[in-house]
Chain A
Amino acid sequence: MKILVAVKRVVDYAVKVRVKPDRTAVDTASAKMSMNPFCEIAVEEALRLREAGAAAEVVAATVGPAASADTLRTALAMGADRAVHVLHDPDPARPLLPLAVAKILRALAIQENPGLFILGKQAIDDDCNQTGQMLAGLLNWPQGTFASKVIVDKEKQTATVEREVDGGIETICLDLPAVITTDLRLNQPRYATLPNIMKAKSKVIKKVTPAELNVDIRSDMEVVQVDEPPKRKAGVILSSVDELLDKLKNEARVL
């Protein structure tokens, strides 16, 4: 069985982002970019399934500009077998939306024919949480989202997924092929060790374009303006209870 993992190159989780001075987009030129943390967890889960014998091959895929190849190299260095890079230069005013990405991934899934498609539950730059669900809908495959535990049964060709939902943990059983999106507590991603980095240099990255996949990725939405949230006002240290009462009465008007 083949596992396809989709990864995304985003601004690093620990970076404090700023808005560009012309307020059209977030300033990513100077920020460090790396793999989306949920995508790392997805790659790790795919590798663990391969090591457990449930899968034979792990293929990483991404949609993005030429620099996204670094993200694929990271996935290969973690242990993926090969990678597919769908080249697309982003336009900040018309960013690539989950529906377009889902259409591209659907085309890849039809080409590669995997048994399992694992994605991160959301990307930390847009927080959409839509791609996995849309992909499952387009492919008409069952989906197990917010997975916190995945057990694959090869003979029965099913996957048992424990999902983190608002009320607790829900356990569902999916027939393969299926789409799974990973949540934070699924696993702890491994580090890219030097021997693996060395091996990754010889692994293949196939480059395609959306046109070759016959996918129309024209976006219906346009970003008009991006603003920072209003800054929190500093607190005031008061010196007596009377002052507190006075402020609550007159300034905050809650008494």
Chain B
Amino acid sequence: MAILPFLSSRTRHSVLRGPLREAGRRALLSPAAPTYVHSPARPAEHTPTLPSTEFSSTGHRRPPPLDWTGAGARMISSSVGISHTRYGSTNHTLNSHKRFYWVPRPQRPSYRPGAGVATNEAHQSVNDSFEVQRRTFGSAAEPIQRNPAYSVLNPDDVSYFKSILGNNGVVQDKDRVAVANVDWMGKYKGASQLLLLPKSTNEVSKILAYCDSRRLAVVPQGGNTGLVGGSVPVHDEVIVNLGGMDKIVSFDNVNGILTCEAGCVLENLSTFVENEGFIMPLDLGAKGSCQIGGNISTNAGGLRFIRYGSLHGNVLGLEVVLANGTVLDMLTTLRKDNTGYDLKHLFVGSEGSLGIVTKVAILTPAKLPSTNVAFLSCNDYMSCQKLLLAARRSLGEIISAFEFMDRQCIDLAMTHLEGVHNPLPNLPYKFYVLIETTGSDESYDKAKLEAFLLRSMEDGLVTDGVIAQDISQASNFWRIREGISEASVKVGAVYKYDLSIPVEKLYDIVEEMRSRVIWQKYWVMATLVMGICI
């Protein structure tokens, strides 16, 4: 299979840090660490694979595809290229213990471990590179060994934490810790014994400084609504849950800039800013429980991505606590600030691997009064793509969401969700699209949407559709879309992959998977926010 689970941008960093550090250290300690993988001594076994030519042509070293940066389509397509060649020479490389080639930058032995992820990679010996790759790509499927370099929690640690956080802030109660150990889907279960609930940045800083000195592994946790196991411990990491830091610090209601702590629940923030006439730039199905710190750390996209863009554009400032307890105050509320390096972008999407986000300054767009939602059905995937293009042209500035679902998703939602009403019953269409427009003039927007949809119907892009006549009908449509994850959990175990793929190839993945899986037994379905893929 060309695309593997490793493409998820949410590889568990706590898992990877261990082997990476270890491998890097080993490489440095071994006397004749072969830093060049392109050793001329072994030309026969050296397959000139696609990635290495890529690297040499670009002239600089490239870190292995750990996907932390979430570079999206470009990165993925090159990873696809890599996997093809790797599989093409699988037997060959397994025998020769060479899995992956990259050209390291020359003269690096003076770097210390932990100086940066990229340099660690460069220093791995050839054998280690093989192991690291396997662990990276198979992280979900294989049991991961606990790295003995991390210490085990002892009662002195607990009493120290109690002295910082008070008795209420340190939770060892089995039930509460058990809840924090399991992710939302119920798939990943850690073995942590300690849950910490700091209430201020100062406390977070002290916790991390102590854990750093004691070499205790830490996993930051927000709403624990992630679907890929990034928010729960792998082994016995200390869980630092930021849910207690839920104060809104300030709101500039002229410019719409909200400053709040990382533990604020997204829905509460939405309600607050909506009261002032603004909206949050992101909206997810998990908004009732997910926290803004987690959203930022995972660079969440969400339903409003097509209109308001990524969090990289909307986050104006961050306050972050680094792994050694240093507090990095980048909490500016300026729209444009070119002083110094724009480090906050490193933390947006880094999933807690570089630091714990404690405060956020986010730009909130103005709330527009008129919202219209339409639920449409299409016959084939090509029409959906054309519909997206047409929507962007005709609806232009008022389009605020474009969600694509296939038949299986709708069936699942109808069967397992309560209180939903199928907008297009009795129709055999295979693909469904939900379009939302948000604008300032109700009648103008509605006329525009209706005209666009009628035209699309005449052109044959849309086979049937409904337009919501009031807010309850609109929320029904959204409930179907947002409830697909929830409904899928009720059917059985779910394997969820977060992929960024060129739009034309999107549905090919689903069909490919279906041909390889007995799809009457397993539901293979795709629900996609097409805005992200553009």
Contact = CB atoms under 8 A, between A and B. Distances in A.
Interface of A: 12-15, 30, 32, 34-35, 37, 40, 70, 74, 77, 188, 191-195, 197-198
A193 B473 CA distance: 12
Contacts of B472: 13-14, 37
Given A197-B450, A198-B454, A191 B470 contact: no
A197 B470 contact: no
Interface stretch (B287-295, B380-388, B458-466): B458-466
Given A193-B464, A194-B454, A32 B469 contact: no
Would you call the interface of chain A mostly helix, strand, loop, or mixed? mixed
A74 B454 CA distance: 16
Contacts of B450: 197
A34 B471 contact: yes
B473 A197 contact: no
Contacts of B421: 188
Interface in B448-493: 450, 453-454, 457, 462, 464-473, 475
Contacts of A74: 469
Q: Across the A-B interface, give the 9 residue pairs with the lowest CB-CB distance, nearest first.
A: A34-B470, A14-B471, A191-B466, A194-B465, A74-B469, A12-B471, A193-B466, A191-B423, A12-B470
A12 B473 CA distance: 11
A14 B475 contact: yes
Interface residues of B, number: 26
B470 A13 contact: yes
A40 B423 CA distance: 16
A29 B299 CA distance: 37
Contacts, number: 59
B252 interface: no
Given A35-B469, A192-B467, A192-B469, 4 more contacts: A15-B471, A32-B370, A194-B467, A198-B457
Interface string B276-299: 000000000000000000000000
Interface in B364-388: 369-371, 375-376
Nearest to B469: A74
Interface in B407-447: 421, 423-424, 442-443
B470 A195 contact: no
Contacts of A191: 375, 423, 466-469, 473
A30 B450 CA distance: 22
A15 B472 CA distance: 10
16 contacts: A12-B470, A13-B470, A14-B475, A32-B371, A32-B470, A34-B470, A34-B471, A35-B470, A191-B466, A191-B467, A192-B467, A194-B457, A194-B462, A194-B465, A194-B467, A198-B454
A198 B371 CA distance: 20
Contacts of A37: 470, 472
B438 to A, nearest CB: 12
Contacts of B466: 191-194
